[in-house]
Amino acid sequence: MDIKTVKISDFSQHVDQQIKIKGWLYNSRAGGKVQFLVLRDGSAMCQAILEKKEGNEDIFGQVKHLGQESSIIATGTVRADDRSMGGFELAIDDVEIVHETNDYPITPKQHGVEFLMKNRHLHLRSKKQWAIARIRHTIINSIRSYFNDNEFILVDTPIFSPSVGEEEQTLFNVDYFGENVALSQTGQLYLEAAALSHGKAYCFGPTFRAEKSKTRRHLTEFWMVEPEVAFIDLEGIMDLGQGLIHTIISNCLKDRRDELEILERDISKLEAALKPFVHLSYSEAVELLHSEKAKNHLENKLAQKNTRIEELKDNIEQYNTDATNAKKQWQKDKAAQQIQTANEEIAELQKEVENIPHHMELAKNFKWGKDLGGSDESIISELHDQPVFVHRYPREVKAFYMKPDPENPDVVLNIDCLAPEGYGEIIGGSMREEDYNALIQRIENKGFDPENYKWYLDLRKYGSVPHGGFGLGVERTVAWVTGIKHIRETIAYPRMMGKVYP
């Protein structure tokens, strides 16, 4: 009789049945007569019990010496047991060793960033990385289904783009049969053409920025989805963006509870984002930055950080006492580890504490007409529980194709969407200038040559309509939803300044 192979995530439906699982050894605690194996099969992890019995001494001995990440096929009976993680475990009858692994580099203990990134191809198997990847999958799937369900047509825009002379430092140049072209940093201009064909269109692909940014928010290669709609207005664009983010969040809350729990994400923060978003004009945002509210917020933040630092210092005292009183070596080591972790947190907090007065100055002295800086965005987003749309920025700091507000030509009809908790800008979008002559004017004012925009200008010559759209950065969205600090963990193989391996 063939024994059925089941997924660990389906264990609850197979209690007391004999089944097979195909997977990998994640960790093991071997005893003389019983071994506790933590197995993973891609769907989940479970504990498996191998008891030494008459007749299985060979298997017992072999499994005992199996290295972490050895691949195996285990046959056994599913049991409900509260002592086991997930509430179920596998009582093993037999193990087939598919591949024996020795010296797997990533152990269940702590590792540094550099080491993990060098071993990224293996790091992907770790629990947190596994959870992040699954949430990313759900986010991308939500994006596709949201647009598909709302009658958008997917149009793929080119990655090789002619260089038109603008913003050259931020583009990657490629030798294209002797011609200098750039890797695309947006599909928007091409997508405008598609929107005039389909009414609603979107593109979804990788995008490339050669900015020399080394921060936790930047990648040189990242994924962006860009919808573009004919006959829309700015309110419509904001509704579209809010609908998209609501769909993403509610799908993650519905389908990725376990993964969010693995990442210790505060669910209430995500639930708050299901409320209608805050709408602030740029001018209102500037007022907010100048307000007592912003000042008080930063003062509170400063006080909180200082309190936390004192708390950590007290903890360190305690750990030191623990270490002195500890009889066992491992207790001393544990205390040392805790002290190290606390010191790292203190260092980070002290840096923030140092920066807060500077941020206060920046906010207080913010002049109408400048683009919002990173710290300004943080202040605005931290003052609200849900994402914030900031609209109508000064025309001078924004791109040439953005349409000026007919009611105030000093500002353009654009939006930025700021994610909560300081995760920064996740959406940028605008209405596009649809008037032929006005667009030429804008191109010339920015110092560009209208000759290079011939086909783009054609869109204003033949059946031009009010239209607009936005771009949403997938990795920043994943960082926010998962609550992880650094964007490099939101994509399987991050590309950053100076890093292209593996």
Partner RNA sequence: UCCUCGAUAGCUCAAUUGGUAGAGCGAGCGGCUGUUAACCGCUAGGUUGCUGGUUCGAGUCCAGCUCGAGGAGCCA
Residue 220 tokens, joined: 């040189």
Residue closer to RNA by CB (options 134, 209) is: 209
Residue closer to RNA by CB (options 134, 218) is: 218
Query: How far is Cα 189 from Cα 453, in angstroms, rounded to an integer?
Result: 10
Tell me the site size for RNA, rule CB under 7 A. Answer: 78
Cβ atoms 306, 300 nearer than 8 A: no
Residue closer to RNA by CB (options 66, 439) is: 66
Q: Which of residues 161-180 bind RNA (CB under 7 A)?
A: 170
Residue closer to RNA by CB (options 170, 283) is: 170
Least Å from the CB of residue 442 to RNA? 16
Could you give the string, one character per residue 191-220, with x where binding to RNA holds by CB under 7 A and - elsewhere? ------------------x-xxxxxxxxxx
Query: How far is Cα 145 from Cα 122, in angstroms, rounded to an integer?
Result: 31
Q: Which residues in 96-107 are b (16+ Cβ under 10 Å) and which e?
A: ebeeeeeeeeee
Residue closer to RNA by CB (options 28, 247) is: 28
Residue closer to RNA by CB (options 213, 408) is: 213
Residue closer to RNA by CB (options 404, 428) is: 428
* Helix (DSSP H) and strand (DSSP E) numbers for the chain: 15, 18
- Site for RNA contains 68 (CB under 7 A): yes
Cβ atoms 122, 106 nearer than 8 A: yes
Query: How far is Cα 486 from Cα 209, in angstroms, rounded to an integer?
Result: 18
Taking each helix axis from N to C end, the angle separating 282-290 and 374-382, rounded to the nearest 10 degrees, works out to: 80
- Site for RNA contains 92 (CB under 7 A): no
**Chain centroid to CA 265:** 13
Q: Which of residues 100-129 bind RNA (CB under 7 A)?
A: 102-103, 105, 107-115, 117
Query: How far is Cα 430 from Cα 412, in angstroms, rounded to an integer?
Result: 8
CB-based contacts of 111-116 (< 8 A; 24+ apart in sequence): none
Q: Which of residues 433-492 bind RNA (CB under 7 A)?
A: 471-473, 475-476, 486-487
At residue 231, φ and ψ (nearest 5 deg) are 60, 45
Query: How far is Cα 495 from Cα 492, in angstroms, rounded to an integer?
Result: 10
Please choose, out of 8-16, 123-131, 138-146, 334-342, the segment that lies near RNA by the rule CB under 7 A: 334-342
Cβ atoms 389, 280 nearer than 8 A: yes
- Site for RNA contains 76 (CB under 7 A): no
Please choose, out of 11-19, 157-165, 242-250, 322-330, the segment that lies near RNA by the rule CB under 7 A: 322-330
Name which position in 6, 19, 63, 84 contacts RNA (CB under 7 A). 84
Name which position in 20, 36, 385, 452 contacts RNA (CB under 7 A). 36
Residue closer to RNA by CB (options 288, 363) is: 363
Residue the block writes with tokens 């009976």: 77
Cβ atoms 46, 89 nearer than 8 A: yes
Between β-strands 34-40 and 179-183, what pairing exists: parallel, antiparallel or unpaired? unpaired
Could you give the string, one character per residue 336-375, with x where binding to RNA holds by CB under 7 A and - elsewhere? xx--x----------x---x---------------x-xxx
**Sheet of 424-431, strands arranged across:** 153-154, 200-208, 221-230, 467-473, 424-431, 414-419, 388-391, 278-281
DSSP-assigned letter for residue 156: P
Q: How many CA atoms lie within 13 A of 142 on its CB side?
A: 25
Residue 391 tokens, joined: 């609209």
Please choose, out of 15-23, 64-72, 145-153, 286-294, the segment that lies near RNA by the rule CB under 7 A: 64-72
Name which position in 23, 187, 424, 469 contacts RNA (CB under 7 A). 424
Residue closer to RNA by CB (options 265, 476) is: 476
Name which position in 7, 269, 305, 499 contacts RNA (CB under 7 A). 499
- Site for RNA contains 65 (CB under 7 A): yes
Whether the link from the prior residue into 502 is cis, omega within 30° of 0, is yes
Name which position in 155, 189, 224, 411 contacts RNA (CB under 7 A). 224
Between β-strands 173-176 and 160-162, what pairing exists: parallel, antiparallel or unpaired? unpaired
Name which position in 377, 405, 433, 434 contacts RNA (CB under 7 A). 377
Residue closer to RNA by CB (options 199, 394) is: 394
Least Å from the CB of residue 206 to RNA? 11
Least Å from the CB of residue 270 to RNA? 18
Between β-strands 278-281 and 388-391, what pairing exists: parallel, antiparallel or unpaired? parallel
Name which position in 27, 43, 71, 318 contacts RNA (CB under 7 A). 27
Cβ atoms 46, 25 nearer than 8 A: no
- Site for RNA contains 30 (CB under 7 A): yes
Q: Which of residues 254-313 bind RNA (CB under 7 A)?
A: none
Least Cα distance to 241 among 150, 157, 155, 156 occurs for 150
Please choose, out of 3-11, 139-147, 328-336, 449-457, the segment that lies near RNA by the rule CB under 7 A: 328-336
